[in-house]
Amino acid sequence: MMLLAAEVAPSFWHGFFFVFFALLTCGFALGVLFSNNIVRMAFYLVLSLGASAGLFFLAGAEFVGAMQLMIYVGGTLVLLIFGVMLTAQSRFISMKTPSGEWVLGVAVGGCLLLLLLSVAFQVKDWRTPRGKGGLSLEDSKTSSQIGMAFTGVRVDKLDQKNEQLAGGMSGYLLPFVIVSVHLLVVLVGAAYMARTKRRATATGAVG
């Protein structure tokens, strides 16, 4: 990936930002790994995920980039930091990882890294540098297409004439509807969790 960025000379800034965001992502990811303080870990994770959103923007996937910012940086991590703040006790704030778990973690993570690296280098397209005309930096406006696909219309495939092929291209309305059923279940579960806490203390006071 780094090699690729270096080869793309015509658009210097594209390469520059790629290296910049990639370094930020990797550096802060390592920061998460080597830090012992859970608040710092959360902060490093914010920066790492934010920088990877930058990579998505560079790749022209602005919808994914925006989602990355909104969901991970905006939602999940704020939740994480609030969770840490609410349960902040000294023994939870600093995490000491036993050496056995380090070995296990490095083994599992290392295997995945090796697998991904070896596979990534097997793909010829990704190894060979592109010529001068190979890179196009037009921005792809995918958000509205994705939005339409959620309502069941694949606007990017409307020109498909083949009935057989068109049949498999109905959008993502049904999955979108199923997600609302997920939310219903989650709400019921959350209501129950909130209710038990009160009841538990109430019965505790009586008993």
Partner 1 sequence: MYVDLDTIKLLWPELVLVLLATWIYIGGTIQQGRWWWGLFALAAYGVSGHAVAVGIVEANTVSGPLTPDSLGYVVRFTAIVLGALFTLVLTASARKELASETIATLMLLICGVMLVGRANDLVFLFVSLELVSIPTYVLLYLGRRDRATSEATVKYFFLSVLSSAVLLYGLTMLYGVAGTTTLVGPGSIQSELQSLSVDAGGLGSLTPVALVLIIAGLGFKMAAVPFHFYAPDVYQGATNANAGLLAVVPKVAGVIALIRVAVIAMPNVAEFAWHVTLVLALVTMTIGNVCALWQQNLRRLMAYSSIAHAGYMLIGVAVAMAMEASGGISGTLFYLLVYAFGSLGMFAALASLGSDEQEVSRLEQLSGLARSRPFVAGAIAVCMFSLAGIPPLAGFWGKFTLFTGAVRVATDSGGQATSVWFAVLAVGGAINAAIAAVYYLRVVAVMYFQPSREANFGTNVGARVVMLFAAVLVVALGIFPRSIFNATEHAESSALREKVAAQTIQRLEAIATSQQVP
- Confirm or reject binding of residue 113 to partner 1 (CB under 8 A): no
For 31, counting Cβ atoms within 10 Å of its Cβ (0-12 exposed, 13-18 middle, 19+ buried), the class is middle
Compute how many residues bind partner 1; rule: CB under 8 A: 39
Q: Which two tokens stand for residue 188?
A: 């019921």
**How far, in Å, CA of 90 to CA of 80, rounded?**
17
Which phi and psi angles does 179 have, rounded to 5°?
A: -60, -35
**Least distance in angstroms from the C-beta of 114 to partner 1:** 11
Instruction: Report the site for partner 1 in 152-181 (rule: CB under 8 A).
Output: 152-154, 157-158, 160, 162, 164-175, 178-179, 181
- Confirm or reject binding of residue 23 to partner 1 (CB under 8 A): no
- Confirm or reject binding of residue 2 to partner 1 (CB under 8 A): no
Which residues sit at the interface with partner 1, rule CB under 8 A?
115-116, 119, 122-125, 152-154, 157-158, 160, 162, 164-175, 178-179, 181-182, 184-186, 188-189, 192-193, 196, 200
